[in-house]
Amino acid sequence: MVVLVLLFCFPPPCIFATISLIKIDKMIAAGYAEREIKEILSGEKTVAEINWRLKMRALGYSEQQIKEREMKKQIIAVSVMKKAVKNLGQALLETQNYEGVIMPIIAEACAQNGLAVSFFKALIKAESNFNLRAISPKGAKGLTQLMPETASLMGVTDVFDPMQNIHGGAKYLAMQMRKFGSKDLALAAYNAGPGAIKNRRIPHIEETKNFIKRVLHYERQYSFLKPP
């Protein structure tokens, strides 16, 4: 009984070899060529792909014609993928709030710039409410509300491209965090400009003060922390 349990839990290598031989025998019996069996076992080709090639051969297609058709299928697949990406981009443009869709980009930008996701996400919420097309009266644009000069400084060429805008905003916020060392001052610099920070104090600008309060409020919500 103990031997059977051991065999079941720790089957010897010969059992796996036997299973592989059975698979190979079945594939040979099914008409697969040696090269095709190797492709299937190595994972280079799927059974479905091999079966498609067998079907083409059965219909009288030459190997060259099969290769041409495979290439055409790949081109069509790439085209379909590009169209899907384009449609997604259009869907994003037509959506005013798509917080969940851009979260992977936010997470990536935060990881690259050493920011807490809840903090940067709160900034986007306060700046644009996750509206890709947001434009402020002063000319700040996109999700992170980049001014033209800031966007250029951060290497952003299209402020309405979510990827560029988010990474540009994260890079700029991280720059202020390194320079001023606190969230309050970094947010003040982000909103009013670094030049507005004098003697390491938040400038007496009502809009900037309200902006800091909103961001920190949203950060507490995203961090599942109760307000103090």
175 and 72 housed in the same domain: no
55 and 160 housed in the same domain: no
Residue 58 pLDDT: 79
67 and 118 housed in the same domain: no
In a domain, 17, yes or no: yes
Of 93, 115, 95, which is closest to residue 106 (Cα–Cα)?
115
Torsion of Cα atoms, 11 then 41 then 29 then 31, to 10°: 180
What's the CATH code of the domain at 110? Answer: 1.10.530.10
In a domain, 228, yes or no: no
Contact 134, 143 (CB under 8 A): yes
113 and 181 housed in the same domain: yes
Q: Which helix (H) or strand (E) holds 8?
A: helix 2-9
Name the residue with tokens 């030459």. Answer: 62
Residue 38 pLDDT: 76
> Domain range spanning residue 51?
13-60
179 and 217 housed in the same domain: yes
- Beta bridge pairs of residue 141: 135, 146
In a domain, 22, yes or no: yes
In tens, the pLDDT along 208-218 reads 999 999 999 99
Name the residue with tokens 């994972």. Answer: 43
67 and 153 housed in the same domain: no
In tens, the pLDDT along 119-145 reads 999 999 999 999 888 999 999 999 999
In tens, the pLDDT along 57-106 reads 778 888 888 788 777 766 776 666 555 555 555 555 554 446 667 888 99
Q: Measured between alpha carbons, how far apart are the two ends of the chain, in Å?
A: 64
151 and 177 housed in the same domain: yes
More confident residue, 219 or 70: 219
Residue 181 pLDDT: 92
In a domain, 131, yes or no: yes
Confidence category of residue 27, pLDDT binned at 50, 70, 90: low
83 and 48 housed in the same domain: no
200 and 136 housed in the same domain: yes
Q: Would you please indicate which residues are annotated as catalytic (active-site) residues?
A: 127
Of 22, 72, 23, which is closest to residue 52 (Cα–Cα)?
72
In tens, the pLDDT along 157-200 reads 999 999 999 999 999 999 999 999 999 999 999 999 999 999 99
In a domain, 2, yes or no: no
In a domain, 3, yes or no: no
In a domain, 8, yes or no: no
Residue 180 pLDDT: 94
Residue 87 pLDDT: 56
Residue 2 pLDDT: 41
Give φ, ψ of 97 to 5 degrees: -140, 115
Question: How many domains does the chain contain in total?
Answer: 3
In tens, the pLDDT along 30-45 reads 667 777 777 777 666 6
Residue 158 pLDDT: 94
In a domain, 227, yes or no: no
80 and 159 housed in the same domain: no
178 and 66 housed in the same domain: no
143 and 83 housed in the same domain: no
Q: Specify the amino acid at residue 139.
A: G
